Every structure is written in C-alpha cells, then in structure tokens.
C-alpha cells in the first residue's frame, strides 16, 4: 500500500449533508473511507468497460422441476469451465433452487456466460455482482 495523501474537495453544503447521512447509514467510520470506496467502484467499472480480467458472482434462481434445466445449466457451465472458479447450489424450497457461480476472466466472456444462463428456459432470475481481481486496485 502506498502512502496516504491528503487532498481537499469543495462541494455544495447540501450535497455534503446528504453524503454524510448516506455514509452514516453505510457504517463508514470516516468520509475518507467512503470516498476511497467510491473511487474503487469507479475503477472496477472501468476494468469491466475496458475488458480486463475481472471477477464476478452470477446469481440464479430457477425451477429445478423444469424439464432438463439442471442438465442444460451444467452443460452451459462446462462450456465456460475456464471462467468458473466455484459454484454453490442451494435448495430454497421444494421447487426453487438458488445457484451462485463465481467466475474470473475477461468481462466480455463473463457477460456471454451470463446471457447463456439467463436465457435457459426455467431460469426465473439472474443477476451479476461485478468485482475486480484486486490487482488494479
């Protein structure tokens, strides 16, 4: 970690009050920590836009009774085995499953995998929690 650097920022007073309320709700100990997290969020977004190696969690909810769906999802994941680090399957109830697929790779390929999983008939919900490998932060 490099040295800490102080800098000043001029900001509208009302905006600062709103920010202070937001960081209090978020449990931040200081404005500095909150600002650093905002900067990191922007850097991660930039990694995704530039197509760098990134990480993510693909989240799915699906009906496991849907004919052949589990096999199709497994087949799709095997087509992208080079991206997948881990997956976790959870039985939510008698009909619904929750699956988390942790991936690392080029953003474009992760998006392609996500679209393939989302398009499978019987998948009720899909989202992606984007992240960084941490190297560029």
Q: 55 near 102, Cβ under 8 Å? A: yes
2-58 pLDDT tens trace: 888 999 989 999 999 999 999 999 999 999 999 999 999 999 999 999 989 999 999
DSSP letter, residue 52 = -
Look at residue 14 in the predicted model and tell me its pLDDT.
Answer: 95
- Calpha distance 96→56 (Å, rounded): 23
Positive or negative CA dihedral for 85, 132, 107, 92? Answer: positive
User: Residue 42 and residue 127: Cα distance in Å, rounded?
Assistant: 19
pTM of the model: 0.84
* Distance, CA of 103 to CA of 108 (rounded, Å): 12
Flag whether pLDDT at 130 surpasses 80: yes
Position 137 scores a pLDDT of: 83
């Amino acid at each position: 970690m490099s040295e800490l650097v102080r800098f000043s920022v001029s900001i509208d007073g009302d905006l600062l009050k709103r920010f202070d309320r937001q960081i209090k709700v978020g449990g931040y100990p200081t404005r500095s920590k909150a600002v650093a997290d905002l900067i990191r969020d922007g850097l991660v977004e930039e990694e995704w836009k530039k197509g760098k190696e990134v990480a993510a969690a693909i989240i799915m909810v699906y009906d496991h009774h849907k004919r052949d769906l589990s096999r199709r999802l497994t087949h799709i994941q095997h087509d992208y085995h080079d991206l997948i680090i881990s997956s976790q399957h959870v039985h939510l109830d008698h009909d619904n499953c929750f699956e988390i697929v942790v991936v690392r790779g080029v953003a474009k390929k992760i998006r392609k995998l996500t679209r393939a999983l989302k398009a499978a008939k019987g998948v009720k919900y899909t989202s992606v929690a984007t992240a960084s490998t941490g190297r560029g932060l």
